[in-house]
Amino acid sequence: MTKAIKLLTALPQAQRERLMELAEEVSFPEDSRIFEAGGTADRFWVIRSGAVHLDQQVTSRQRVTVATLGAGDLLGWSWLFPPYQWDFGAVAFSNVRAYEFDGPSALALCVEDPLLGLSLVRSVAEILAHRLETTRGKLMDQYALGRRTPL
């Protein structure tokens, strides 16, 4: 399994400092919706404190939490790939403090500094690979639990 990484600590110091020039400190109160699946993805966050649930709408009345993110975690990657729409929703599980980054500004910085762009894309890819493996493991566990019941 891939190791969980934190975006800001994964970037080399020079690239981290350049990216942090774009950072704005923001906060979200507990139970506030940060974004909704299908909405325009034009920013991302690095959580400083608190917890965020990523969720998926299953029925018109039911959402399922697919991941919980905490301090140091990347929130949002859809800003990096067309069609720039959120794949999941996100809600603050507790009071959240975060660094917010404007997606188009970050993309422009990546074009201006290809080393930063490569480092950022690699780091996001590692984060996504880890989350995918974690989700796969949870699904396999759920499948195994379901198979233990008599047919």
Q: What is the CATH number of the domain that holds 62?
A: 2.60.120.10
pLDDT value at residue 114: 95
Q: Which domain holds residue 136?
A: 7-147
What single letter denotes the amino acid at residue 142?
A: Q
Structural domain contains residue 136? yes
Instruction: List per-block mean pLDDT (blocks of 10 residues) for the chain, which spans 151 residues.
Output: 77 94 98 97 97 89 88 95 94 98 97 95 91 79 64 44
Structural domain contains residue 47? yes
The three-point CA angle 26-27-30 to 5° equals 160
Domain count, the chain: 1
Structural domain contains residue 1? no
Structural domain contains residue 2? no
pLDDT value at residue 151: 44
